[in-house]
Amino acid sequence: MSQSSGFSKALRTDAGKGLILISPTALFAILLLAAPLTSIVLLSFWTQNFLTIDRTFTLANYSEALTDPLYRSLMLRSVKISLSVTAVTVLLAFPIAYFVSFHVRPSRKSLWLFLITIPFWTSYLIRVFLWRVILAYDGPVNGTLIGLGVIDEPLSWILYNSNAVVITLAHAFAPFAILPIFVSLEKIDRSFLEAAQDLGETKLMTFFRVTLPLAVPGVLAAALIVMIPTVGDYVTPRLVGGSGGTMIANMIYAQIFDLNDRPMGATLAVGGMIIVGSIALALVLLTRRWTRARS
């Protein structure tokens, strides 16, 4: 009796109500996220023995993933491509975010943001496929360049290699980079800029010494948001990457569906998570140090 009244009392507190209210969603996440993630970590320590799975704990998959040159080069390439995509996307995005934040009338800003986000909501598969059309040997990019007399014969280095993957992913993740940078630029107190100029800085120096440093957290957030999904992208390398542009996700798929080696697939997936996690951690630490050094 006293126990049940204690329980119902706990239910009436804020903490109890909050926990009850969030429990369906939390349970769902535990069931469909925590349990599966735990099981692939577990699976990565087992080995495939022809048709059955050998459940003795072993690090064999990991040592194979780290020593086999094929896996090593794939992981290295995934990181390289993802970092180039991040750099290209953020560099291209910054001027746009700056333009919308500083040069567009406030009433027009949400329209610009809407325009920027629309392409992102359209079918990802089709967008990637169209890049294959655009970059093709007889596609519009080569056609235009030849028509303008810039080149004599079609460029072959823009399709079916890692360059194509970088271009296509830089397009696909553009809004992810623009929005965080825009938000950090919007937060900048405009009177700082006036103060800098009143104190004799040129416009350019104001940008480098006031605006840019204050936008760094947004830039790092943008880098994080672009980097994470691109490491594990499957569609783009498959459609425009050719054989020289395959990435880790393609290998994970091949292990599970074509080679029927689920433990190795799980190992590569865990490896991918470790890679993403460590780069993400480095970026978060960098952001923290930056903001602390500033404040």
Partner 1 sequence: MKGRGLHIYALVYLVFLYAPIVLLPLFAFNDGTTIAFPLQGFTLDWFRALVTTPALHEATLNSLIIAISTAVLSTCLGLFAARAATRYRFPAKPVIVGFIMLPLVLPEIIVAISLLVVMLQLGLSLSIWTIIAGHTLICVPFAIAILQGSFSNMDRSLEEASVDLGETPLTTFRLVTLPLVMPGIIASLLICFTISLDEFIIAFFLSGNEPTLPVYLWGQLRFPARLPVIMALGTILVGLSVGLLITAEFFRRRGLRRAGLPDSGGFL
Q: Backbone dihedral region of 158: left (phi > 0), alpha (psi from -120 to 50 degrees) or beta?
A: alpha
At its nearest, how many Å lie between partner 1 and the CB of residue 207? Answer: 9
What's the rounded Cα separation, in Å, for the pair 51 and 39? Answer: 19
CB of 157 to partner 1, least distance (A): 19
Q: What span, in angstroms and rounded, lies between the C-alpha atoms of 168 and 135?
A: 10
Nearer to partner 1, 49 or 294 (CB): 49
- Minimum CB distance to partner 1 smaller for 193 or for 239: 239
User: At closest approach, how far in Å is the CB of 114 from partner 1?
Assistant: 6
Residue-wise DSSP of 31-43: IIIIHHHHHHHHH
Least distance from C-beta 281 to partner 1, angstroms? 12
31 alpha carbon, distance to own chain's centre? 25
Structure tokens at 283: 């970026």
Q: Give min distance, CB of 232 to partner 1, in A.
A: 3
- Cβ closest to partner 1, residue 245 vs residue 272: 272
Alpha-carbon distance of 109 to 106, in angstroms, equals 5
Residue 182: which of 111, 94, 117, 87 has the closest Cα?
94
- Measured from the CB atom, the residue of 139 and 245 that comes closer to partner 1 is 139
Q: Are 141 and 134 in contact (CB under 8 A)?
A: yes
Output the smallest distance, CB 1 to partner 1, in A: 25
With beta carbons less than 8 A apart as the criterion, state whether 234 and 249 touch: yes
Residue 108, Cα to own-chain centre: how many angstroms? 28
Q: What angle do CA 18, 21, 22 make, to 5 degrees?
A: 85
Shorter beta-carbon distance to partner 1: residue 26 or 59: 26
Least CB distance from residue 147 to partner 1, whole Å?
A: 10
**Measured from the CB atom, is 119 or 294 closer to partner 1?**
119
Nearer to partner 1, 30 or 294 (CB): 30
